[in-house]
Amino acid sequence: MKNFLKTIRTLSLVLVLGVVLFAMTACDGFGVDNSKKIIFYHTMGDSLQQVLETAKAKFEAKFPGWVIEHTQVGGYDDVKSAVVADLQGQTQPSLAYCYADHVAQYLTTKKVVDMSKYINSTEQITYTSYEYEMDGEDYKLDEEGNKIVASTVEAQEVVGYTAAEIEDFVKGYYNEGFATNYADYEKYGYSATSILTLPFVKSTELVYYNKTALVDCGIVDAAGKAKAPVTWDELWEDAAIIKAKYPDSTPVGYDSEANWFITMCEQNGWGYTSATEPHYLFKGEKQAQWLDTLAGYYDKGYLTTQSAYGSYTSNLFTKGVETGVTFSIGSSGGANHQKPADGTFEWGVARLPGSLQSDGTIAYKAISQGPSLCMFFEDVENAEEKALMTWEFVKILLEPDFLAAFSIASGYNPPRQSTFDIEAYQDHLNGTSITAAAARAAATMVDDFFTSPAFVGSSTARTQVGNVLVYAMTGQKTAEKALADAYVNCGGK
């Protein structure tokens, strides 16, 4: 009978998923004071929290005596509100989901941890390595079905990342965290090399399209297959054809008005916001002309948006072409909501269209979304130790095995390229589901992702330009009036 040891460092994705989880007996946190409790605010629903529990259990087994307490606060804005309030109180999070706009506000507290200190550290940290004995192919289990611990040993690992591990992050995602993306970062004690966030899982915007409707309308390639639009001009040409054949349809649906406005500014270089004064650049002639064009398409019945329709346009997409939309533009992370009932029609997923430039090139840019991770210093005696332990939990959350499990469950894309080498994730990408198709499409766009500058007031700008698009598109205001009002609402003079 062959016995061998399998350590915590070589746990497979199956273990990460919790099928045979070594740390089910880890400390449950009762009786642990806050000095050794890491509080994590997030937006995860029940299914994702089950995946998160595997990371929690692994951390608590690795560092006995330390406890992870995670809380679903609500949506992303709810997390921001909770963090802002709690940073002023007695109990605050150690770690939170974040968007750059949120972090711009957190910086004023000077409690945001510069993670470059840990990322670049070559110091060693001691942890507990659990080793398990196996007989043949069967684990030895206790009465509750947990693995029997053969022994525990102390092991060491480097606190930071190697150059290769840093390179493993998708560059665009990783670079989002640098302090230089934030206005006045030096004012709050950070440098150009400071890293304020690390990417967790990400999404972008994609075009979900009705292949059956496109074929019926003759919108096909040389092989007779449905052809997704490559440019916005092609999209509107297709919309006219679809509307003529299906007069009760609305060919195009776009879920996020703010994203659309910001993306068009980025693709065409029109200006949206700047990290330096003057912050607000969106009140321009080019932006107004584009909004006028959209209003014309809206009047023809070519498009709707989430605000205009009153719900996500995926609800129109799944209805079919006759009374729904043929192109639904929405998040890659929400692909499951775009899936029609079986047999309704054949669907496809494509990258966001680009803007045709005067020189004949196509400018592709797509907004990068999805949560990043932000750490906070706490007013406790062991603040440095607690920050280090929070960092160690962050590292577990960013391990490729865990990211693969989380990405499969969530539909979001992982931030580390090595995740794509994991067999379970490869199987997921090779699948036929709409979630897999969205992940494949988003993975081809990484070189074109962008984020907007973050400063106190940048979240207001985002809200305002979303309103601008709705007002101008539906005729509630002229484009010029909508832009001017938004500029004033943002504090522009």
Segment 171-223, tens digit of pLDDT: 989 999 999 999 889 999 999 999 999 999 999 999 999 999 999 999 999 99
The pLDDT tens digits of the residues spanning 387-420 come to 999 999 999 999 999 999 999 999 899 999 999 9
What does the alpha-carbon distance between residue 285 and residue 289 come to, in Å, rounded to a whole number? 6
Q: Which tokens go with 152? A: 């525990």
Average pLDDT of the chain, as a whole number: 89
Confidence grade of residue 43 (pLDDT, cut at 50, 70, 90): very high
Backbone dihedral angles phi then psi of residue 233, each to the nearest 5 degrees? -60, -40
Q: Are 68 and 390 in contact (CB under 8 A)?
A: no
Which residue bears the tokens 């591990």?
Answer: 165
Q: With a cut of 90, say whether residue 26 has pLDDT above it.
A: no
Q: What local confidence, expressed as pLDDT, does residue 141 receive?
A: 61
Q: CA separation (Å) from 485 to 294, 350, 479, 493? A: 19, 35, 10, 11
Q: Are 23 and 57 in contact (CB under 8 A)?
A: yes
Beta bridge partners of 273: 280
The percentage of the chain sitting over the pLDDT mark of 90, rounded to a whole number, equals 80
Residues making up the chain, counted from first to last? 493
Q: Are 260 and 252 in contact (CB under 8 A)?
A: no
What does the alpha-carbon distance between residue 283 and residue 191 come to, in Å, rounded to a whole number? 31
Q: Using DSSP, state whether 90 is helix, strand or coil.
A: coil
Min mean pLDDT across 8-17, 22-31, 330-339 is at: 8-17
What does the alpha-carbon distance between residue 420 and residue 333 come to, in Å, rounded to a whole number? 17
Confidence grade of residue 170 (pLDDT, cut at 50, 70, 90): very high
**Nearest to residue 227, comparing CAs of 240, 246, 213, 245?**
213
The percentage of the chain sitting over the pLDDT mark of 70, rounded to a whole number, equals 89
Confidence grade of residue 137 (pLDDT, cut at 50, 70, 90): very low
The pLDDT tens digits of the residues spanning 280-290 come to 999 999 999 99
Q: With a cut of 90, say whether residue 19 has pLDDT above it.
A: no
Q: Which tokens go with 430? A: 């090779």
Mean pLDDT score, 444-463: 90
What does the alpha-carbon distance between residue 126 and residue 470 come to, in Å, rounded to a whole number? 56
3-state class percentages of the chain: helix first, strand second, coil last, to nearest 5: 45, 20, 35
Confidence grade of residue 151 (pLDDT, cut at 50, 70, 90): low
- Which domains, ranges and CATH numbers included, belong to the chain? 3-199+371-411 (3.40.190.10), 205-368+441-489 (3.40.190.10)
**Nearest to residue 201, comparing CAs of 371, 47, 425, 38?**
371
Q: What local confidence, expressed as pLDDT, does residue 275 receive?
A: 85
Q: What local confidence, expressed as pLDDT, does residue 307 receive?
A: 96
Mean pLDDT score, 37-41: 97
Q: With a cut of 80, say whether residue 481 has pLDDT above it.
A: yes
The pLDDT tens digits of the residues spanning 225-256 come to 999 999 999 999 999 999 999 999 999 999 99
Mean pLDDT score, 29-55: 86
Q: What local confidence, expressed as pLDDT, does residue 28 receive?
A: 38
Q: Are 422 and 416 in contact (CB under 8 A)?
A: no
Mean pLDDT score, 20-26: 33
- The two beta strands, 449-450 and 366-367, are parallel
What does the alpha-carbon distance between residue 181 and residue 201 come to, in Å, rounded to a whole number? 19
What does the alpha-carbon distance between residue 325 and residue 310 come to, in Å, rounded to a whole number? 14
User: What are the residues whose beta carbons fall under 8 Å from the beta carbon of 431, sequence distance 6 or more?
Assistant: none
Q: Is the peptide bond before 278 cis (omega within 30 degrees of 0)?
A: yes
Q: CA separation (Å) from 458 to 107, 203, 280? A: 14, 20, 9
What does the alpha-carbon distance between residue 176 and residue 409 come to, in Å, rounded to a whole number? 24
The widest CA-to-CA distance across the chain, in whole angstroms, is: 81
Q: With a cut of 60, say whether residue 9 has pLDDT above it.
A: no
Kindly calculate the radius of gyration of the chain based on its CA atoms and give it in whole angstroms.
25
What does the alpha-carbon distance between residue 256 and residue 205 come to, in Å, rounded to a whole number? 9
Mean pLDDT score, 467-490: 97
Q: What local confidence, expressed as pLDDT, does residue 198 receive?
A: 98
**Nearest to residue 352, comparing CAs of 372, 336, 368, 371?**
368
Q: Which pTM does this prediction carry?
A: 0.83
User: What are the residues whose beta carbons fall under 8 Å from the beta carbon of 294, sequence distance 6 or more?
Assistant: 303, 469, 472, 473
Q: Using DSSP, state whether 305 is helix, strand or coil.
A: strand
Q: Using DSSP, state whether 109 is helix, strand or coil.
A: helix
Q: CA separation (Å) from 60 to 25, 128, 191, 250? A: 9, 10, 33, 52
